[in-house]
Protein backbone atom coordinates (compact mmCIF):
# COMPACT_ATOMS: atom_id res chain seq x y z
CA UNK A 1 0.00 0.00 0.00
CA UNK A 2 2.81 2.38 0.89
CA UNK A 3 4.50 1.60 -2.41
CA UNK A 4 1.32 2.49 -4.30
CA UNK A 5 0.95 5.77 -2.40
CA UNK A 6 4.59 6.60 -3.09
CA UNK A 7 4.16 5.96 -6.82
CA UNK A 8 1.04 8.14 -6.93
CA UNK A 9 2.79 10.98 -5.13
CA UNK A 10 5.74 10.69 -7.49
CA UNK A 11 3.43 10.71 -10.50
CA UNK A 12 1.48 13.79 -9.38
CA UNK A 13 4.70 15.59 -8.49
CA UNK A 14 6.05 14.81 -11.95
CA UNK A 15 2.83 16.14 -13.53
CA UNK A 16 3.00 19.33 -11.45
CA UNK A 17 6.61 19.86 -12.53
CA UNK A 18 5.64 19.39 -16.17
CA UNK A 19 2.69 21.78 -15.80
CA UNK A 20 5.03 24.51 -14.60
CA UNK A 21 7.45 24.18 -17.51
CA UNK A 22 7.42 27.09 -19.98
CA UNK A 23 5.74 26.67 -23.35
CA UNK A 24 8.15 26.38 -26.26
CA UNK A 25 7.77 27.72 -29.78
CA UNK A 26 8.04 24.14 -31.05
CA UNK A 27 4.94 23.21 -29.06
CA UNK A 28 2.96 26.14 -30.49
CA UNK A 29 4.05 25.31 -34.04
CA UNK A 30 3.16 21.63 -33.50
CA UNK A 31 -0.26 22.67 -32.18
CA UNK A 32 -0.83 24.72 -35.33
CA UNK A 33 0.35 21.84 -37.54
CA UNK A 34 -2.47 19.68 -36.22
CA UNK A 35 -4.83 22.26 -37.73
CA UNK A 36 -2.77 22.01 -40.92
CA UNK A 37 -3.40 18.27 -41.10
CA UNK A 38 -7.02 17.99 -39.98
CA UNK A 39 -8.17 20.70 -42.39
CA UNK A 40 -7.75 18.18 -45.19
CA UNK A 41 -10.81 16.39 -43.81
CA UNK A 42 -13.13 19.40 -43.88
CA UNK A 43 -11.75 20.61 -47.22
CA UNK A 44 -11.66 17.41 -49.25
CA UNK A 45 -14.23 15.19 -47.54
CA UNK A 46 -16.89 17.54 -46.16
CA UNK A 47 -16.69 20.38 -48.68
CA UNK A 48 -15.12 19.63 -52.05
CA UNK A 49 -14.98 15.95 -52.98
CA UNK A 50 -16.80 13.37 -50.89
CA UNK A 51 -19.94 15.44 -50.35
CA UNK A 52 -20.38 15.80 -54.12
CA UNK A 53 -19.35 12.18 -54.79
CA UNK A 54 -21.85 10.88 -52.23
CA UNK A 55 -24.80 12.99 -53.38
CA UNK A 56 -24.28 12.50 -57.14
CA UNK A 57 -22.62 9.09 -57.54
CA UNK A 58 -23.35 7.00 -54.44
CA UNK A 59 -26.96 8.16 -54.04
CA UNK A 60 -28.14 10.19 -57.03
CA UNK A 61 -31.67 11.59 -56.70
CA UNK A 62 -32.37 12.68 -53.12
CA UNK A 63 -28.69 12.73 -52.29
CA UNK A 64 -28.71 16.30 -50.95
CA UNK A 65 -31.40 15.53 -48.39
CA UNK A 66 -29.71 12.28 -47.29
CA UNK A 67 -26.35 14.05 -46.97
CA UNK A 68 -27.95 16.71 -44.78
CA UNK A 69 -29.46 14.05 -42.53
CA UNK A 70 -26.14 12.21 -42.26
CA UNK A 71 -24.27 15.36 -41.27
CA UNK A 72 -27.01 16.25 -38.78
CA UNK A 73 -26.92 12.81 -37.15
CA UNK A 74 -23.13 12.79 -36.83
CA UNK A 75 -23.15 16.24 -35.25
CA UNK A 76 -25.85 15.19 -32.79
CA UNK A 77 -23.74 12.20 -31.71
CA UNK A 78 -20.75 14.49 -31.12
CA UNK A 79 -22.96 16.92 -29.21
CA UNK A 80 -24.05 14.18 -26.81
CA UNK A 81 -20.54 12.78 -26.32
CA UNK A 82 -18.44 15.96 -26.03
CA UNK A 83 -19.31 17.13 -22.48
CA UNK A 84 -18.68 13.62 -21.09
CA UNK A 85 -15.43 13.22 -23.00
CA UNK A 86 -14.26 16.68 -21.96
CA UNK A 87 -14.98 16.08 -18.27
CA UNK A 88 -13.33 12.66 -18.45
CA UNK A 89 -10.23 14.09 -20.15
CA UNK A 90 -9.89 16.83 -17.53
CA UNK A 91 -10.30 14.43 -14.59
CA UNK A 92 -7.68 12.06 -15.99
CA UNK A 93 -5.31 14.76 -17.22
CA UNK A 94 -5.10 12.89 -20.53
CA UNK A 95 -6.47 15.18 -23.21
CA UNK A 96 -3.58 14.17 -25.44
CA UNK A 97 -4.42 10.47 -25.20
CA UNK A 98 -8.08 11.10 -26.03
CA UNK A 99 -7.02 13.27 -28.96
CA UNK A 100 -4.75 10.51 -30.25
CA UNK A 101 -7.53 7.89 -30.20
CA UNK A 102 -10.04 10.20 -31.90
CA UNK A 103 -7.49 11.19 -34.55
CA UNK A 104 -6.70 7.55 -35.40
CA UNK A 105 -10.41 6.78 -35.80
CA UNK A 106 -10.91 9.80 -38.05
CA UNK A 107 -7.91 8.86 -40.21
CA UNK A 108 -8.99 5.21 -40.50
CA UNK A 109 -12.58 5.84 -41.52
CA UNK A 110 -11.60 8.68 -43.84
CA UNK A 111 -9.33 6.25 -45.66
CA UNK A 112 -12.08 3.62 -45.76
CA UNK A 113 -14.23 6.01 -47.83
CA UNK A 114 -12.07 4.82 -50.75
CA UNK A 115 -14.06 1.55 -50.69
CA UNK A 116 -17.43 3.31 -51.16
CA UNK A 117 -18.86 2.87 -54.65
CA UNK A 118 -22.11 3.65 -56.47
CA UNK A 119 -25.09 2.34 -54.55
CA UNK A 120 -23.22 1.83 -51.25
CA UNK A 121 -25.61 4.10 -49.39
CA UNK A 122 -25.29 2.53 -45.95
CA UNK A 123 -21.54 2.00 -46.05
CA UNK A 124 -20.90 5.43 -47.54
CA UNK A 125 -22.99 7.17 -44.90
CA UNK A 126 -21.78 5.02 -41.99
CA UNK A 127 -18.06 5.48 -42.74
CA UNK A 128 -18.55 9.24 -43.12
CA UNK A 129 -20.54 9.52 -39.88
CA UNK A 130 -17.87 7.68 -37.87
CA UNK A 131 -15.08 9.77 -39.43
CA UNK A 132 -16.98 13.01 -38.83
CA UNK A 133 -17.80 12.10 -35.21
CA UNK A 134 -14.14 11.24 -34.51
CA UNK A 135 -12.86 14.38 -36.26
CA UNK A 136 -15.17 16.68 -34.29
CA UNK A 137 -14.61 14.86 -31.00
CA UNK A 138 -10.87 15.35 -31.50
CA UNK A 139 -11.41 19.11 -31.78
CA UNK A 140 -12.79 19.17 -28.22
CA UNK A 141 -9.44 18.02 -26.86
CA UNK A 142 -7.32 19.93 -29.38
CA UNK A 143 -9.01 23.29 -28.71
CA UNK A 144 -8.67 22.75 -24.95
CA UNK A 145 -4.85 23.01 -25.29
CA UNK A 146 -5.12 26.67 -26.39
CA UNK A 147 -5.32 28.01 -22.84
CA UNK A 148 -2.24 25.99 -21.83
CA UNK A 149 -0.05 27.11 -24.73
CA UNK A 150 -0.26 30.89 -24.52
CA UNK A 151 -1.08 33.82 -22.27
CA UNK A 152 -4.47 35.45 -21.81
CA UNK A 153 -3.61 38.50 -23.92
CA UNK A 154 -2.20 36.43 -26.82
CA UNK A 155 -4.89 33.78 -27.18
CA UNK A 156 -6.47 35.49 -30.17
CA UNK A 157 -3.14 35.58 -31.97
CA UNK A 158 -2.30 31.90 -31.45
CA UNK A 159 -5.86 30.84 -32.26
CA UNK A 160 -5.71 32.89 -35.45
CA UNK A 161 -2.36 31.38 -36.40
CA UNK A 162 -3.89 27.95 -35.90
CA UNK A 163 -6.82 28.66 -38.19
CA UNK A 164 -4.53 30.28 -40.78
CA UNK A 165 -2.24 27.24 -40.73
CA UNK A 166 -5.32 25.08 -41.14
CA UNK A 167 -6.43 26.89 -44.27
CA UNK A 168 -2.93 26.61 -45.71
CA UNK A 169 -3.21 22.88 -44.99
CA UNK A 170 -6.53 22.78 -46.80
CA UNK A 171 -4.88 24.52 -49.75
CA UNK A 172 -2.04 22.00 -49.98
CA UNK A 173 -4.33 19.01 -49.46
CA UNK A 174 -6.40 20.21 -52.41
CA UNK A 175 -3.28 20.50 -54.55
CA UNK A 176 -2.37 16.92 -53.66
CA UNK A 177 -5.73 15.48 -54.70
CA UNK A 178 -6.15 17.55 -57.89
CA UNK A 179 -4.76 14.78 -60.16
CA UNK A 180 -7.36 12.35 -58.79
CA UNK A 181 -10.33 14.74 -58.87
CA UNK A 182 -9.75 15.93 -62.42
CA UNK A 183 -10.53 12.46 -63.74
CA UNK A 184 -14.22 12.98 -62.93
CA UNK A 185 -16.69 11.73 -60.33
CA UNK A 186 -17.29 8.37 -61.98
CA UNK A 187 -13.60 7.41 -62.32
CA UNK A 188 -12.08 4.97 -59.82
CA UNK A 189 -9.11 7.29 -59.38
CA UNK A 190 -11.45 9.94 -57.90
CA UNK A 191 -11.71 7.81 -54.76
CA UNK A 192 -7.94 7.83 -54.24
CA UNK A 193 -8.37 11.40 -53.01
CA UNK A 194 -9.98 10.00 -49.85
CA UNK A 195 -6.93 7.82 -49.14
CA UNK A 196 -4.59 10.77 -49.69
CA UNK A 197 -6.69 12.86 -47.29
CA UNK A 198 -6.41 10.27 -44.52
CA UNK A 199 -2.64 10.01 -45.00
CA UNK A 200 -2.25 13.80 -45.03
CA UNK A 201 -4.23 14.10 -41.79
CA UNK A 202 -2.10 11.42 -40.11
CA UNK A 203 1.32 12.76 -41.12
CA UNK A 204 0.75 16.35 -40.04
CA UNK A 205 -0.89 15.41 -36.74
CA UNK A 206 2.27 13.58 -35.61
CA UNK A 207 4.25 16.69 -34.47
CA UNK A 208 1.50 17.44 -31.95
CA UNK A 209 1.78 14.01 -30.35
CA UNK A 210 5.58 14.12 -30.41
CA UNK A 211 6.19 17.59 -29.00
CA UNK A 212 3.14 19.11 -27.26
CA UNK A 213 3.19 18.32 -23.54
CA UNK A 214 0.16 17.53 -21.43
CA UNK A 215 0.20 20.05 -18.57
CA UNK A 216 -3.10 19.15 -16.96
CA UNK A 217 -2.87 17.49 -13.54
CA UNK A 218 -5.14 14.42 -13.00
CA UNK A 219 -8.05 15.05 -10.65
CA UNK A 220 -8.50 11.37 -9.75
CA UNK A 221 -6.06 9.05 -7.95
CA UNK A 222 -6.24 6.12 -10.36
CA UNK A 223 -7.62 5.15 -13.77
CA UNK A 224 -10.75 3.44 -12.41
CA UNK A 225 -11.86 6.73 -10.84
CA UNK A 226 -11.37 8.87 -13.96
CA UNK A 227 -14.80 8.12 -15.38
CA UNK A 228 -16.61 8.61 -12.08
CA UNK A 229 -14.70 11.81 -11.32
CA UNK A 230 -15.37 13.09 -14.85
CA UNK A 231 -19.13 12.69 -14.41
CA UNK A 232 -18.92 14.24 -10.94
CA UNK A 233 -17.04 17.26 -12.29
CA UNK A 234 -19.50 17.71 -15.12
CA UNK A 235 -22.41 17.58 -12.68
CA UNK A 236 -20.67 20.16 -10.51
CA UNK A 237 -20.27 22.46 -13.51
CA UNK A 238 -23.91 22.02 -14.51
CA UNK A 239 -25.03 22.93 -10.98
CA UNK A 240 -22.74 25.95 -10.85
CA UNK A 241 -23.08 27.12 -14.42
CA UNK A 242 -25.50 29.88 -13.42
CA UNK A 243 -22.37 31.65 -12.19
CA UNK A 244 -21.17 31.75 -15.80
CA UNK A 245 -24.06 33.77 -17.18
CA UNK A 246 -22.08 35.44 -19.92
CA UNK A 247 -20.72 32.08 -21.01
CA UNK A 248 -24.28 30.77 -21.26
CA UNK A 249 -25.32 33.78 -23.33
CA UNK A 250 -22.36 33.22 -25.61
CA UNK A 251 -23.26 29.54 -26.02
CA UNK A 252 -26.79 30.44 -27.14
CA UNK A 253 -25.53 33.07 -29.60
CA UNK A 254 -22.92 30.65 -30.91
CA UNK A 255 -25.59 27.99 -31.42
CA UNK A 256 -27.35 30.22 -33.93
CA UNK A 257 -24.51 31.73 -35.93
CA UNK A 258 -22.40 28.56 -35.97
CA UNK A 259 -25.42 26.72 -37.34
CA UNK A 260 -25.43 28.96 -40.40
CA UNK A 261 -21.65 28.85 -40.90
CA UNK A 262 -21.50 25.07 -40.72
CA UNK A 263 -24.37 24.74 -43.17
CA UNK A 264 -22.60 27.00 -45.66
CA UNK A 265 -19.46 24.86 -45.38
CA UNK A 266 -21.38 21.61 -45.83
CA UNK A 267 -23.45 22.70 -48.84
CA UNK A 268 -21.25 25.24 -50.66
CA UNK A 269 -19.84 22.77 -53.18
CA UNK A 270 -23.24 21.14 -53.72
CA UNK A 271 -24.72 24.61 -54.36
CA UNK A 272 -21.96 25.41 -56.83
CA UNK A 273 -22.43 22.10 -58.66
CA UNK A 274 -26.22 21.98 -58.82
CA UNK A 275 -27.18 25.65 -59.03
CA UNK A 276 -24.29 27.17 -60.98
CA UNK A 277 -23.12 23.99 -62.79
CA UNK A 278 -19.48 24.17 -61.67
CA UNK A 279 -17.31 21.38 -63.10
CA UNK A 280 -15.07 19.38 -60.71
CA UNK A 281 -12.03 21.33 -61.96
CA UNK A 282 -13.78 24.65 -61.39
CA UNK A 283 -14.75 23.55 -57.88
CA UNK A 284 -11.14 22.74 -57.07
CA UNK A 285 -9.97 26.14 -58.32
CA UNK A 286 -12.75 27.86 -56.38
CA UNK A 287 -11.82 26.24 -53.08
CA UNK A 288 -8.11 26.75 -53.58
CA UNK A 289 -8.77 30.47 -53.93
CA UNK A 290 -11.07 30.57 -50.90
CA UNK A 291 -8.52 28.68 -48.77
CA UNK A 292 -5.97 31.38 -49.53
CA UNK A 293 -8.40 34.15 -48.58
CA UNK A 294 -9.36 32.28 -45.40
CA UNK A 295 -5.71 31.95 -44.35
CA UNK A 296 -5.12 35.65 -45.01
CA UNK A 297 -8.26 36.58 -43.05
CA UNK A 298 -7.21 34.46 -40.07
CA UNK A 299 -3.75 36.03 -40.00
CA UNK A 300 -5.23 39.52 -40.20
CA UNK A 301 -7.94 39.04 -37.59
CA UNK A 302 -5.78 37.07 -35.10
CA UNK A 303 -3.83 40.06 -33.72
CA UNK A 304 -6.91 42.24 -34.25
CA UNK A 305 -8.88 39.95 -31.93
CA UNK A 306 -6.38 40.61 -29.15
CA UNK A 307 -6.74 44.37 -29.68
CA UNK A 308 -10.51 44.66 -30.23
CA UNK A 309 -11.55 41.68 -28.15
CA UNK A 310 -13.21 38.50 -29.45
CA UNK A 311 -16.77 39.79 -29.03
CA UNK A 312 -16.23 42.83 -31.26
CA UNK A 313 -14.38 40.73 -33.81
CA UNK A 314 -17.23 38.21 -34.00
CA UNK A 315 -19.76 41.05 -34.31
CA UNK A 316 -17.90 42.52 -37.30
CA UNK A 317 -17.70 39.16 -39.05
CA UNK A 318 -21.38 38.30 -38.45
CA UNK A 319 -22.41 41.49 -40.23
CA UNK A 320 -20.17 40.34 -43.07
CA UNK A 321 -21.86 36.92 -43.11
CA UNK A 322 -25.22 38.57 -43.82
CA UNK A 323 -23.65 39.98 -46.98
CA UNK A 324 -22.35 36.51 -47.88
CA UNK A 325 -25.81 34.97 -47.57
CA UNK A 326 -27.45 37.62 -49.74
CA UNK A 327 -24.64 37.39 -52.27
CA UNK A 328 -25.01 33.60 -52.56
CA UNK A 329 -28.80 33.91 -52.86
CA UNK A 330 -28.62 36.40 -55.72
CA UNK A 331 -25.45 35.30 -57.57
CA UNK A 332 -25.91 34.24 -61.20
CA UNK A 333 -22.38 33.86 -62.56
CA UNK A 334 -19.27 31.89 -61.74
CA UNK A 335 -17.30 35.09 -61.32
CA UNK A 336 -19.86 36.43 -58.86
CA UNK A 337 -19.67 33.22 -56.84
CA UNK A 338 -15.88 33.54 -56.75
CA UNK A 339 -16.35 36.98 -55.23
CA UNK A 340 -18.76 35.66 -52.60
CA UNK A 341 -16.35 32.84 -51.78
CA UNK A 342 -13.37 35.14 -51.42
CA UNK A 343 -15.22 37.36 -48.97
CA UNK A 344 -16.67 34.40 -47.05
CA UNK A 345 -13.21 32.86 -46.74
CA UNK A 346 -11.72 36.08 -45.41
CA UNK A 347 -14.15 36.17 -42.45
CA UNK A 348 -14.62 32.43 -41.89
CA UNK A 349 -11.40 31.84 -39.97
CA UNK A 350 -11.86 35.10 -38.08
CA UNK A 351 -15.29 34.07 -36.75
CA UNK A 352 -14.12 30.61 -35.74
CA UNK A 353 -10.85 31.80 -34.24
CA UNK A 354 -12.45 34.62 -32.23
CA UNK A 355 -15.15 32.23 -30.95
CA UNK A 356 -12.50 29.78 -29.77
CA UNK A 357 -10.61 32.62 -28.10
CA UNK A 358 -13.69 33.92 -26.27
CA UNK A 359 -14.46 30.46 -24.93
CA UNK A 360 -10.84 30.00 -23.80
CA UNK A 361 -11.10 33.25 -21.84
CA UNK A 362 -14.35 32.11 -20.23
CA UNK A 363 -13.01 28.63 -19.25
CA UNK A 364 -11.68 28.20 -15.69
CA UNK A 365 -8.20 26.74 -15.32
CA UNK A 366 -8.33 22.95 -14.99
CA UNK A 367 -11.66 22.70 -16.80
CA UNK A 368 -10.48 23.45 -20.34
CA UNK A 369 -11.56 20.21 -22.03
CA UNK A 370 -14.80 20.14 -20.03
CA UNK A 371 -15.79 23.63 -21.10
CA UNK A 372 -14.74 22.97 -24.67
CA UNK A 373 -16.90 19.87 -24.42
CA UNK A 374 -19.90 22.07 -23.64
CA UNK A 375 -18.75 24.40 -26.41
CA UNK A 376 -18.75 21.41 -28.76
CA UNK A 377 -22.18 20.40 -27.46
CA UNK A 378 -23.55 23.80 -28.42
CA UNK A 379 -21.77 23.88 -31.76
CA UNK A 380 -22.71 20.35 -32.80
CA UNK A 381 -26.35 20.69 -31.82
CA UNK A 382 -26.50 23.76 -34.02
CA UNK A 383 -24.51 21.99 -36.73
CA UNK A 384 -27.07 19.19 -36.73
CA UNK A 385 -30.01 21.58 -37.15
CA UNK A 386 -28.70 23.64 -40.06
CA UNK A 387 -27.88 20.89 -42.58
CA UNK A 388 -31.11 19.07 -41.75
CA UNK A 389 -33.17 22.25 -42.22
CA UNK A 390 -31.33 23.16 -45.43
CA UNK A 391 -31.94 19.71 -46.91
CA UNK A 392 -35.63 19.79 -46.00
CA UNK A 393 -36.15 23.27 -47.47
CA UNK A 394 -34.57 22.04 -50.71
CA UNK A 395 -36.85 18.99 -50.66
CA UNK A 396 -39.98 21.09 -50.08
CA UNK A 397 -39.24 24.10 -52.33
CA UNK A 398 -36.83 22.56 -54.80
CA UNK A 399 -34.65 25.68 -54.41
CA UNK A 400 -31.21 25.86 -52.85
CA UNK A 401 -31.36 29.66 -53.14
CA UNK A 402 -34.26 29.86 -50.69
CA UNK A 403 -32.53 27.40 -48.39
CA UNK A 404 -29.43 29.62 -48.46
CA UNK A 405 -31.40 32.80 -47.77
CA UNK A 406 -32.99 31.18 -44.71
CA UNK A 407 -29.55 31.17 -43.06
CA UNK A 408 -29.71 34.97 -42.70
CA UNK A 409 -32.19 34.52 -39.86
CA UNK A 410 -29.66 32.45 -37.87
CA UNK A 411 -26.96 35.09 -38.33
CA UNK A 412 -29.30 37.90 -37.23
CA UNK A 413 -30.44 36.07 -34.08
CA UNK A 414 -26.86 35.11 -33.21
CA UNK A 415 -25.67 38.69 -33.73
CA UNK A 416 -28.36 40.14 -31.48
CA UNK A 417 -27.81 37.57 -28.71
CA UNK A 418 -24.05 38.13 -28.78
CA UNK A 419 -24.53 41.78 -27.79
CA UNK A 420 -25.80 40.66 -24.36
CA UNK A 421 -22.46 38.99 -23.58
CA UNK A 422 -20.19 40.95 -21.21
CA UNK A 423 -16.65 39.85 -22.06
CA UNK A 424 -15.07 41.34 -18.95
CA UNK A 425 -17.55 39.76 -16.54
CA UNK A 426 -17.21 36.38 -18.25
CA UNK A 427 -13.42 36.47 -17.89
CA UNK A 428 -13.61 37.53 -14.23
CA UNK A 429 -16.05 34.70 -13.47
CA UNK A 430 -13.56 32.17 -14.87
CA UNK A 431 -10.70 33.67 -12.86
CA UNK A 432 -12.76 33.66 -9.66
CA UNK A 433 -13.57 29.97 -10.10
CA UNK A 434 -9.87 29.18 -10.50
CA UNK A 435 -8.98 31.00 -7.27
CA UNK A 436 -11.64 29.15 -5.32
CA UNK A 437 -10.44 25.81 -6.69
Quote the pTM value: 0.71
Instruction: Please state, rounded to an integer, the average pLDDT across all residues of the chain.
Output: 81
Number of domains in the chain: 1
350 within a domain of the structure (yes/no): yes
3 within a domain of the structure (yes/no): no
Q: How does pLDDT run across 170-217, given as a tens digit for each residue?
A: 889 988 998 898 878 888 889 999 999 999 999 999 999 999 998 766
Highest mean pLDDT among 76-80, 120-124, 282-286, 425-429 belongs to 120-124
Burial 227-239 (b: 16+ CB within 10 A, else e): eebbeebbeebee
For residue 248, what are the CA distances in angstroms to 83, 107, 155, 210, 426?
15, 33, 21, 35, 10
Rounded average pLDDT over 339-354: 86
H-helix or E-strand containing 417?
helix 407-418
Q: Which of 316, 339, 344, 340 is nearest to 328 (CA)?
A: 340
CA atoms within 13 Å, Cβ hemisphere of 219: 22
Q: Which of 324, 341, 369, 300 is nearest to 83 (CA)?
A: 369
Say how far apart CA 389 and CA 97 lie, in whole Å.
Answer: 35
Beta-carbon contacts of residue 273 (< 8 Å; ≥ 6 apart): 52, 56, 283
Say how far apart CA 4 and CA 9 lie, in whole Å.
Answer: 9
Domain at 377, CATH number: 1.20.1250.20
**Whether residue 85 has pLDDT greater than 60:** yes
Looking at residue 373, its pLDDT comes to 62
* 8 A C-beta contact, residue 287 and residue 174: yes
Domain residue limits at 289 = 24-218+240-428
231 within a domain of the structure (yes/no): no
Q: How does pLDDT run across 294-341, given as a tens digit for each residue?
A: 888 877 877 777 888 889 999 999 999 999 999 999 999 998 998 998
DSSP for 130-191 reads: HHHHHHHHHHHHHHHTHHHHS-GGGHHHHHHHHHHHHHHHHHHHHHHHHHHHTT-TTSGGGG
Phi, psi of 396 (to 5 degrees): -80, -45
Q: How does pLDDT run across 138-154, given as a tens digit for each residue?
A: 987 888 787 788 876 77
**Whether residue 436 has pLDDT greater than 70:** no
Q: How many CB atoms lie within 10 A of CB 223?
A: 10
The gap from C-alpha 261 to its chain's centroid, in whole angstroms, comes to: 11
Q: How does pLDDT run across 360-384, given as a tens digit for each residue?
A: 787 776 665 566 666 666 666 666 6
| Secondary structure tally for the chain: helices H, strands E | 18, 0
Looking at residue 382, its pLDDT comes to 61
For residue 328, what are the CA distances in angstroms to 69, 264, 325, 344?
22, 10, 5, 10
10 within a domain of the structure (yes/no): no
336 within a domain of the structure (yes/no): yes
* 8 A C-beta contact, residue 269 and residue 51: yes
5 within a domain of the structure (yes/no): no
Amino acid sequence: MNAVIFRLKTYFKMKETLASQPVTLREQVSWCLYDFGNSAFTTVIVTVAYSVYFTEVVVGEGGTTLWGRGVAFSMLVVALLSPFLGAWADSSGRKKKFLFIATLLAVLFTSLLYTVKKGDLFKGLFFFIVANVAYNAALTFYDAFLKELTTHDRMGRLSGYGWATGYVGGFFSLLLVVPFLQSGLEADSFRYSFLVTGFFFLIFSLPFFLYVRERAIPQAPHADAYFKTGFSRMGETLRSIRRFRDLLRFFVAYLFYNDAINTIIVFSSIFARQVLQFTPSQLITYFIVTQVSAAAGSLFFGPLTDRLGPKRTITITLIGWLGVVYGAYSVETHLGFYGVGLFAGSILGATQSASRTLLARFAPIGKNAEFFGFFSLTGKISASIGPLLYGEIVRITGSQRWATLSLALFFIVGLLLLQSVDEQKGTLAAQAWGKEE
